[in-house]
C-alpha cells in the first residue's frame, strides 16, 4: 500500500512538472485590416448599370483598419508541435466608396437660368460597416527555433455592428439577434510568428470566413482579415 501511494505521488509530481514545462500563456494586441469578399461584396453588372443610371459610378469595397485584443494558451504536444487556443475581442468590417452627384455644391443661379442643360458636378462618397466579434481560434503550431507556423479553425461570435455614411448619423445595433448578420461565423486562420527570448512576440496572420455574413444566405459575402499582433508570453520560453 505504501509503495502504491509513493508511486501515485511520483506520477502526480511528474505530471505537475510536465504541465509546468509544457504550458504557457500570454496576452496580445494588434491591428486588423478587414474587408468583405464574395460575389455580392461588390455590385453586380446589373446593379452597376442601375447605379450609373442614377449618376453613381466607381463603387469600391476596401480594407478597413481596426484592432483586436485577447489572450492565449500554448500547450506543448512535442518539442516542435503545440496547440494554441485563443480568445480575442476583434473588430472587422469594410470601407466602401463611390462617385455620385454633388448635390451640396449646386450653382443655383446657373441652374435656375438653364435647368435642363445644367450639369451636376460629382464627388466621392464614403462609408463603412463595422462588425464586432468574439473570436476563438484553435491553432496547431509548428515551431522552428523562435519562428512558429500556425494554422487552424476559428469560430467568431457576432456581437454587434455599426454602419456609417458621411453626412448621416451612425446606425448601431447592440442586439446581435435583431439584424441579418450571422450569429456564428466559422472560418480558418494561418500565419507565422516570431518570439524573442524575453517573451515578446510578433505575428502576421490571415483570417478567412467560411460562412456568409447574411444569416439568410441572400447576400453572398464573407469576412477577410489580415492581423498583425504584438504579444507577450508568460511561463517557460
Instruction: Flag whether pLDDT at 5 surpasses 90.
Output: no
Instruction: Flag whether pLDDT at 76 surpasses 70.
Output: yes
Q: Give me the DSSP letters along 88-137.
A: EEEEEEEEEEEEEE-GGG--HHHHHH-TTT----EEEEEEEEEEEEEEEE
Domains of the chain: residue spans and CATH? 24-234 (2.40.160.20)
What burial class does residue 131 get, using C-beta atoms within 10 Å of its C-beta: 0-12 exposed, 13-18 middle, 19+ buried?
buried
What confidence category does residue 220 fall into, taking pLDDT thresholds of 50, 70 and 90? Answer: confident
pLDDT score of 214: 87
Mean of the per-residue pLDDT values for the chain?
82
Q: Report the range of poorest mean pLDDT among 50-59, 88-97, 197-206.
A: 50-59
What confidence category does residue 49 fall into, taking pLDDT thresholds of 50, 70 and 90? Answer: low
Q: Cα separation of 231 and 171, whole Å?
A: 33
Contact between 70 and 135 under an 8 Å Cβ cutoff? The reply is: yes
pLDDT score of 119: 73
Amino acid at each position: 500500500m505504501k509503495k502504491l501511494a509513493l508511486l501515485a505521488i511520483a506520477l502526480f509530481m511528474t505530471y505537475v512538472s510536465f504541465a509546468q514545462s509544457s504550458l504557457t500563456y500570454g496576452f496580445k494586441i494588434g491591428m486588423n485590416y478587414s474587408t468583405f469578399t464574395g460575389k455580392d461584396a461588390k455590385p453586380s453588372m446589373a446593379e452597376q448599370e442601375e447605379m450609373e443610371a442614377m449618376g453613381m459610378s466607381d463603387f469600391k469595397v476596401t480594407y478597413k483598419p481596426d484592432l483586436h485584443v485577447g489572450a492565449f494558451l500554448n500547450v506543448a504536444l512535442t518539442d516542435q508541435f503545440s496547440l494554441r487556443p485563443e480568445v480575442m475581442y476583434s473588430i472587422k468590417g469594410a470601407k466602401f466608396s463611390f462617385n455620385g452627384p454633388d448635390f451640396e455644391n449646386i450653382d443655383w443661379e446657373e441652374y435656375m437660368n438653364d435647368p435642363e442643360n445644367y450639369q451636376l458636378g460629382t464627388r466621392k462618397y464614403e462609408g463603412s460597416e463595422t462588425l464586432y466579434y468574439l473570436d476563438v481560434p484553435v491553432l496547431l503550431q509548428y515551431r522552428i527555433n523562435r519562428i512558429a507556423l500556425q494554422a487552424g479553425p476559428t469560430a467568431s461570435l457576432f456581437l454587434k455592428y455599426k454602419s456609417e455614411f458621411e453626412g448621416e448619423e451612425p446606425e448601431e445595433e447592440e442586439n446581435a439577434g435583431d439584424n441579418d448578420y450571422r450569429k456564428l461565423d466559422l472560418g480558418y486562420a494561418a500565419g507565422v510568428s516570431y518570439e524573442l527570448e524575453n517573451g515578446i512576440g510578433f505575428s502576421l496572420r490571415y483570417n478567412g470566413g467560411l460562412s456568409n455574413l447574411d444569416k439568410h444566405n441572400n447576400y453572398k459575402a464573407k469576412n477577410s482579415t489580415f492581423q498583425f499582433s504584438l504579444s507577450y508570453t508568460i511561463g517557460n520560453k
